[in-house]
Structure 1
Amino acid sequence: MRPARVAAVETLSPRFRLADLEGEALRNVAWTAGQKVQVSIGSGLSARTYTPISWDAESGRTRMLTFAHGDGPGSRWASGLREGDTCQFFGPRRSLDLSGLESPVVLFGDETSFGLAAALRDSPQGASATHVFEVSHVFEVSDVVESRPVLEAIGLGQAILIERLADDAHLAAAEAKVLRLAASGAHFVLTGKASSIQRVSRALKAVGVVSSRVKTKAYWAQGKIGLD
């Protein structure tokens, strides 16, 4: 476990907050975009998983975007964060390996994927000075009006947002957006809700996108806990 202090908290919307953690235990830490941290909340072994946006190993500081989904322990912890609070977490640890991606990249996900998208944009690969690394973002979200300014605040204002509909009827539009980019030879990163990932993955396979061009990571599934 790494002890850390909450150095800053910025409320971006009713459910999204940017949190900066700092501490000596965060110095000289090897981190790459896509890795996770598991923050201890409450008592016992209860923890919630986040994808850091950035990590400054020299100063010992990391930034993450929290999303309060529902009224569970994780949402209450994120909503109650205050500057000066302390916390402990495991990590960074392996979660999604983004090595080997070639431009252009299409990242599909949801609110739980915003942090990953920002991390990829700011990574040495995504921000390469030697060539333009194109990344298109397609997100399914519960509230477009809330999500748009959050994405703009973290530098992802050009993302395509598709509002969720009953019975996942919106996923047809999401598939169409993703498949439109498949012909360009894009690599795909599919994250967020497990069932949505499965559907988009099947659609890509149906049009001949080989598995080596697709990376997947389910962060959550309806009615289940324990995913990250």
Structure 2
Amino acid sequence: MKRATVIASERLTDRFRLITLEGAALKGAAWTPGDKVQIAMGSAFVARTYTPIEWNAAAGRMCILGYAHGDGPGGAWVRTVRPGDECDIFGPRGSLDLRRLSGPLAIFGDETAIGLAYAATRQEPRRVLSCHFEVGDLESARQVAVELGLDDAALVERCPEESHVAAMAAALPDLAAAGASFVLVGKAGTVQTLRRALTLPASRLLTKAYWAPGKTGLD
């Protein structure tokens, strides 16, 4: 467990915040883009998982893109956290090792995957990256994507009947034919649907369900 202090919380949109944390315990940490941390929400037994988008091991400073997904502890923390607040952090720990994927990279996810995509650009700025996100608010997500330099991200508005997932899946064949490796993250149902549409060796694919409706504990 590492103690850290929030030193900045920048509001990008109503639901998105860039949150920077700093602490002596964060110095020297071995971090790779795609790694995760868990932040305790007032108790070691209630924590939420985030993908740091930057980590300065020399300064003991990390940054996350927080998305207030709902009304639970994680959403409340993202909305209300302020500079000076302290918290306990577990990690960083391995989650998605983007280094093992070769060739162009295609990331499919939702609002919770935008930070991962940004971290990927920091790791290999010259790597060809294609981003495809299902989102609830197109304008808000576009604003955040542009803020993080992901101007070309393809955004699809989420539909209650999930018909939008077919539009995302339609992009898979051309990317696969071009030699892309895939990262499928975010909502469990979408990850499963897209995974079934791909017939690729494990060396070209990483998957991780971050959340599912009505469930907690996924990361």
Q: Deviations over 1:73-122 (max 9, x none)?
A: 11111111111111111000111121221121111000111111111110
CA distance in 2, matches of 1:112, 1:44: 22
CA distance in 2, matches of 1:179, 1:199: 14
CA distance in 2, matches of 1:178, 1:41: 37
CA distance in 1, matches of 2:104, 2:120: 13
Equivalent position amino acid for 1:157 in 2:
D
Higher normalized strand content (fraction of residues): 2
Structure 1 unaligned segments of length 5 or more: list them.
none
Name the structure 1 match of 2:113: 113
Which among 169, 176, 199 is matched to residue 175 of structure 1?
169
- Aligned partner of residue 89 in structure 2, secondary structure: strand
How is 1:79-118 mapped onto 2 (pairs within 5 angstroms)? 79-118=79-118
Q: Are 1:218 and 1:227, in contact at CA under 8 Å, matched by a contact in 2?
A: yes
Q: Deviations over 1:11-36 (max 9, x none)?
A: 00000000010111111111001111
Normalised by the length of structure 1, the TM-score is 0.93
Count of residue pairs the alignment pairs up: 219
Name the structure 2 match of 1:222: 213
Name the structure 2 match of 1:73: 73
Equivalent position amino acid for 1:68 in 2:
A
CA distance in 2, matches of 1:64, 1:97: 18
- Aligned partner of residue 189 in structure 1, secondary structure: strand
CA distance in 2, matches of 1:139, 1:79: 22
How is 1:145-160 mapped onto 2 (pairs within 5 angstroms)? 145-160=139-154
CA distance in 2, matches of 1:221, 1:176: 23
Q: Are 1:9 and 1:83, in contact at CA under 8 Å, matched by a contact in 2?
A: yes
Normalised by the length of structure 2, the TM-score is 0.97
How is 1:167-206 mapped onto 2 (pairs within 5 angstroms)? 167-205=161-199
Q: CA RMSD in A?
A: 1.1
Which among 212, 224, 227 is matched to residue 203 of structure 2?
212
